Amino acid sequence: MNTTRRSVLAGGAAAALAATLPGGASAQPALIRKPIPSSGEMIPIVGLGTARRYENAQAADMDPLRDTIRRFAELGGTGIDTSPTYGTAERTMGTLISELGVRDKLFLCTKVAVDNKEQGVAQIEQCFRNLRTDKIDLIAVHNLRDTANGLATLRDLKAAGRIRYYGMTTSFDRQYEEFEAVMRREQMDSIQIDYALDNRNAADRIIPLAKDRGMAVFLNLPFGRGSVFRATQGKPLPDWATEIDCTTWAQFMLKYVVSHDAVTAAMPGMAQAQYVDDNLKAAQGRLPDAAMRRRMERFIDGL
């Protein structure tokens, strides 16, 4: 079977995962979705991260950030990742969501990152206030901080119906061993981990384990905080990128990570509407199959 045919098959599978836009809108092609294993709920495979660019937003930053979130929601994006550890990002997001009236379209993810149970409960209550919502879709224990207490609190909040899912995150290789041990002994809906075309260590054990344990996998740092753009700067996309419907490096990098069968969604940091247009195209068209994924790895490793 030639590469084009394989890619088309992969695209067919992707199309089978696709859902229509909310309200059946047809102006934009639907985004590819994948299921959260614990519920079967389908969510778009590309979301939006809020570290750094949303952390210290001043009045002059609000218009471009509002345009970014408006465009994201218009195109059918739902997953937004934020954290009380990202400066004022949560509060900024709460303001933008309420101004735009898009809360019901979004899948809001935030984190808990403190040192004991009481602080955790207080921090989470502040998350609800910051985000101006009475229901948060997902809260995760951040970077293994006070993990056992955090997961217990989140489990109770889910049972009380105040959050819909809970999990934990890391973006550090040095935490992988402990992260894996917690994944084996605790029940949770999701993990969030760093995975990019030039940073594939999470695919060795953690991501396959999440699949075995029925946990959704959200990705942070899908562009390696921009390292993939620095590596490819000034270089043309390979001709064969058209076989997976990529016209930019951002789409190339995102299509690689979201095509891992156990990955649910990537959360690239984006604070410009033009990045939203670019990155959400990675949730459309053909996705790479296994052979194409190997080809993409060889390509990046050869740079």
Ligand X SMILES: NC(=O)c1ccc[n+]([C@@H]2O[C@H](COP(=O)([O-])OP(=O)(O)OC[C@H]3O[C@@H](n4cnc5c(N)ncnc54)[C@H](OP(=O)(O)O)[C@@H]3O)[C@@H](O)[C@H]2O)c1
Q: 290-301 and 3-17 helices cross at what angle (nearest 10)? A: 110
Query: Looking at beta carbons only, is 142 or 286 nearer to ligand X?
Result: 142
Using CB under 6 A as the binding rule, whether residue 279 contacts ligand X is answered as yes
Alpha helices in 52-188 (DSSP H): 59-74, 89-100, 117-131, 147-159, 176-185
Interface with ligand X includes 268 (CB under 6 A)? yes
Q: Does 14 bind ligand X (CB under 6 A)?
A: no
**Min dist. Cβ of residue 109 to ligand X (A):** 8
Taking CB under 6 A as the criterion, which residues in 126-165 touch ligand X?
A: 142-143
Give the burial string for 291-301 (b: 16+ CB within 10 Å, else e): ebbebbeebbe
226 binds ligand X (CB under 6 A): yes
Q: 142 or 164, CB closer to ligand X?
A: 142
Structural contact between residues 47 and 218, judged by C-beta atoms closer than 8 angstroms? yes
The residue within the footprint of ligand X, chosen from 270, 273, 280, 283 (CB under 6 A), is: 270
- Residue nearer to ligand X on the CB measure, 73 or 138: 138
Query: What are the backbone angles phi and psi of residue 22, rounded to the nearest 5°?
Result: -55, 135
CB of 262 vs ligand X, minimal distance in Å: 18
Q: Does 87 bind ligand X (CB under 6 A)?
A: no
Helix, strand or coil for residue 191?
strand
- Segment near ligand X (CB under 6 A); pick from 43-51, 144-152, 176-184, 205-213: 43-51
CA atoms within a 13 Å half-sphere pointing along the CA-CB vector of 35: 9
> Counting Cβ atoms within 10 Å, is residue 125 exposed (0-12), middle (13-18) or buried (19+)?
exposed
Rg of the chain (C-alpha set) = 18
Give the number of residues in contact with ligand X, rule: CB under 6 A.
29
**Separation CA 167–CA 142 (nearest Å):** 9
Choice between 120 and 289, CB closer to ligand X: 120
Closest to ligand X by CB, 136 vs 267, is: 267
Contact between 199 and ligand X per CB under 6 A: no
Segment near ligand X (CB under 6 A), from 7-15, 130-138, 207-215, 269-277?
269-277
Residue nearest to ligand X (CB): 269
Q: Report the residue from 70, 117, 158, 225 that binds ligand X according to the rule CB under 6 A.
A: 225
Q: How near is the Cβ of 220 to ligand X at its closest, in Å?
A: 3
229-259 b/e with 16+ CB inside 10 Å = b?
Answer: eeebeeeeeeeebebbbbeebbbbbbbbbbb
| Interface residue with ligand X, options 29, 87, 208, 224 (CB under 6 A) | 224
Backbone φ and ψ of 269, nearest 5°: -70, 125
Binding of residue 120 to ligand X (CB under 6 A): no
Q: What is the 3-state secondary structure (H, E, C) of 144-169?
A: HCCHHHHHHHHHHHHHCCCEEEEEEE
Contacting residues toward ligand X, per CB under 6 A: 49-53, 81, 142-143, 169-171, 192, 220-226, 229, 250, 267-271, 275, 278-279
